[in-house]
């Protein structure tokens, strides 16, 4: 742990919680590996000055009330694993009529999006540093979310790691249960075999409908991400999956 992280964790102990092992010492299967990257001054200063305004703290005993969190009744989209938050920031800037809750475990990316949202004084972004699976299970009410964005989730290419992939049936069912009627799940990947998995998994959940019957056409409002650029440089195909909740 760097000195900066130590200082930040002293200031906001909740941020360190995702780094702790389970109390019973069990190792759960997680979809992420925690990466460290030295925080820059602007990120530290944003964590010192804007944390309460932008950060939502994981608390298994609290259910999120989005209307009071954002101060309005606008639709809520949750982005899972936003990385550096570049697409989150742009989408939120261009859609002030929608509220965005970004969930990411990577402290550097979390702090970067928090700092950028504060710099632009955006009112429709909140960020969480925690495991999105637990956040959804413990803090998000059923039928309360208008959309989910999962852009370039870790592909875990090795077969023995496939169990770590986020988009699997139980998680897809969890997402579906949190959606409002008419809400959507939008996933994008540059890993073709994971794209096929997304298509079949999301297509197999009761109540989710794929209006395209296959991969979706690119959505014009989704900006290119850093991971996407890397994939494109290697000539990978970008596949998009869009499903909607219909009763």
Instruction: Give yes or no for residue 231 binding ligand SAM (CB under 6 A).
Output: no
The owner of tokens 């989910």 is 148
Instruction: Give yes or no for residue 226 binding ligand SAM (CB under 6 A).
Output: yes
Determine the interface stretch with ligand SAM among 8-16, 52-60, 80-88, 194-202 (rule: CB under 6 A).
Answer: 80-88
Determine the interface stretch with ligand SAM among 6-14, 39-47, 68-76, 149-157 (rule: CB under 6 A).
Answer: 149-157
To ligand SAM, the closest distance from the beta carbon of 144 in angstroms equals: 18
Structure tokens at 67: 């209307």
Handedness of CA 130, 140, 112, 11 (dihedral sign): negative
Alpha-carbon distances of 136 from 79, 80, 120, 194, rounded to whole Å: 11, 10, 28, 22
Tell me, residue by residue from 99 to 138, as one string, x for binding to ligand SAM by CB under 6 A and - for no binding.
----xxxx--x---------------------xxx-----
Instruction: Give yes or no for residue 32 binding ligand SAM (CB under 6 A).
Output: yes
Judge contact between 154 and 187, C-beta under 8 A.
no
**Residue 32 CB neighbours (<10 A):** 17
Instruction: Give yes or no for residue 153 binding ligand SAM (CB under 6 A).
Output: yes
To ligand SAM, the closest distance from the beta carbon of 218 in angstroms equals: 14
- Report the greatest alpha carbon distance in the chain: 51
Beta-bridge partner residues of 147: 77, 184
The owner of tokens 């850093």 is 226
Instruction: Give yes or no for residue 81 binding ligand SAM (CB under 6 A).
Output: yes
Residue with smaller CB distance to ligand SAM, 100 or 151: 151
Report the residue number whose CB is nearest to ligand SAM.
Answer: 81
To ligand SAM, the closest distance from the beta carbon of 188 in angstroms equals: 8
Instruction: Give yes or no for residue 146 binding ligand SAM (CB under 6 A).
Output: no
Kindly determine how many residues on this chain lie close enough to bind ligand SAM according to the rule CB under 6 A.
23
Alpha-carbon distance 175 to 147, whole Å?
9
Which residues carry out catalysis? 154
User: Angle CA(99)–CA(104)–CA(109) in degrees, nearest 5?
Assistant: 100
Instruction: Give yes or no for residue 156 binding ligand SAM (CB under 6 A).
Output: no
Judge contact between 225 and 190, C-beta under 8 A.
no
To ligand SAM, the closest distance from the beta carbon of 138 in angstroms equals: 13
The owner of tokens 């990385």 is 83
To ligand SAM, the closest distance from the beta carbon of 239 in angstroms equals: 14
Structure tokens at 35: 């990466």
Binding site for ligand SAM (CB under 6 A): 31-32, 80-83, 103-106, 109, 131-133, 151-154, 166, 225-228
């Amino acid at each position: 742990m760097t000195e900066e992280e130590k200082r930040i964790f002293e200031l906001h102990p909740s941020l360190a919680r995702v780094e702790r092992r389970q109390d019973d010492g069990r190792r759960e299967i997680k979809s992420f590996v925690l990466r460290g990257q030295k925080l820059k001054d602007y990120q530290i200063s944003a964590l010192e000055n804007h944390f309460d305004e932008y950060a939502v703290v994981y608390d298994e005993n609290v259910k999120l009330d989005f209307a009071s969190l954002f101060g309005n009744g606008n639709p809520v989209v949750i982005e899972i694993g936003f990385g550096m938050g570049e697409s989150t920031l742009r989408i939120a800037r261009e859609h002030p009529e929608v509220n965005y809750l970004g969930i990411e475990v990577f402290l550097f990316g979390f702090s970067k999006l928090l700092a950028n949202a504060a710099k632009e004084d955006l009112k429709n972004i909140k960020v969480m540093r925690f495991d999105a699976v637990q956040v959804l299970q413990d803090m998000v009410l059923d039928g309360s979310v208008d959309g989910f964005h999962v852009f370039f989730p870790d592909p875990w290419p090795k077969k023995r790691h496939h169990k770590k992939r986020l988009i699997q049936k139980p998680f897809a069912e969890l997402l579906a249960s949190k959606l409002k009627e008419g809400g959507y799940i939008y996933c994008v990947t540059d890993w073709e075999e994971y794209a096929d998995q997304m298509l079949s998994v999301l297509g197999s959940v009761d109540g989710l409908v794929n209006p395209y019957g296959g991969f979706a056409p690119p959505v014009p409002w989704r900006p290119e991400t850093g991971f996407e650029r890397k994939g494109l440089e290697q000539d990978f195909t970008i596949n998009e999956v869009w499903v909607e909740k219909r009763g």
